[in-house]
Amino acid sequence: MFALIYDTRELDKPQKRVLSVHKTRQTAERALEIRMVRLGKKVEECDTRIVWVKRKVQREDVVIDKDFSTWKPGEKIPYGELHPDCD
């Protein structure tokens, strides 16, 4: 399942709180857009990521790195995510 997690990217804080759970990446992306508007921030500023969670979770659960990955197994990864824009 896809989830929005709160992630400040601080290495000393490995636990990430689940903000919402979604069946598809598209619904997770829509939820992220709504969160950005509500907070009045850009995606880089709202400390929120979309991840694929490897176990069953609910809103407000806590996950750690081994529980999730950026992409669902077998999911097509956009070209821009695999290749940097710079030289």
pLDDT at residue 87 above 60?
no
pTM: 0.83
CB 3, CB 28: distance < 8 Å: yes
Q: Alpha-carbon distance 83 to 72, whole Å? A: 19
Which tens digit of pLDDT belongs to each residue from 20-36? Answer: 999 999 999 999 999 99
Give phi and psi for 52, each to the nearest 5.
-95, 120
C-alpha distance from residue 3 to each of 41, 59, 79, 87 (Å): 19, 9, 22, 33
Give phi and psi for 79, each to the nearest 5.
-55, -45
Per the DSSP assignment, residues forming a β-bridge with 18 are 5
